[in-house]
Amino acid sequence: MAGVLLIISGPSGVGKSTICRKLAERPDAFLSVSATTRKRRENEVDGRDYYFVTTEAFERSIAEGRCLEYAKVYGGQYYGTPIEPVLNNLEAGKIVILEIEIEGTLQVKKRFPQAVAIYILAPTAADQQRRLVGRRSEDPEALAERLSKADGEIRYAQESGAYDYFLVNHDVDETVEAIIRIVKEKQKA
């Protein structure tokens, strides 16, 4: 594999899409367009934001092995990564960016252990965790419960072992730079 497979995940509203769009402006990067069965939002363009497909078509692409990974996300809708553009762009030496959730990340890591997976955190959630941990007023169990309730998804991401890095998105440009540094290290390795 000549290129670098880069997975970006994070809770909604954390700025993932903006980060991915900025990364994709690089000539050496390719942003994967996922397929989904969910309804297209008004501001979305088919083929740019997603390939909006029927459940039948999606299930056919699973059966034919055309998905690198897929998951049922919100409301039981399918989301998945078409495999062909990913492989072609990796062969061309590109940084191939996948903006996908945790289940999909686990599948990709199984298939491509050398993929780099980054979980983006919002400063507010991080602040909240830091505050809770720093307060030292809770016993470990109560603290764990608070953290899990406050941010179950983040805990799951941490416990899944799928992610190589957790980055707090204080500033989009800084986060993008940090990601590029991580990718460059990977390319050197």
| Residue (of 42, 47, 44) closest to 31 by Cα position | 47
Q: What angle do CA 149, 153, 167 make, to 5 degrees?
A: 115
**Identity at 163, one-letter amino acid code:** Y
46 to 75: interface string for ligand 5GP, x by CB under 6 A:
-----------------------xxx-xx-
Q: Which of residues 102-121 bind ligand 5GP (CB under 6 A)?
A: 103-104
> Which strands form 29-31's sheet, in the order they lie side by side?
29-31, 95-99, 4-9, 116-121, 165-168
- Of the candidate residues 37, 81, 89, 169, the single one contacting ligand 5GP (CB under 6 A): 81
- Residue 101 lies near ligand 5GP (rule: CB under 6 A): yes
Task: Give the residue with the Cβ less far from ligand 5GP, 137 or 176.
Answer: 176
At residue 71, φ and ψ (nearest 5 deg) are -150, 155
Q: Which spans of this chain sit near ligand 5GP (rule: CB under 6 A)?
A: 34, 38, 69-71, 73-74, 79-81, 99-101, 103-104
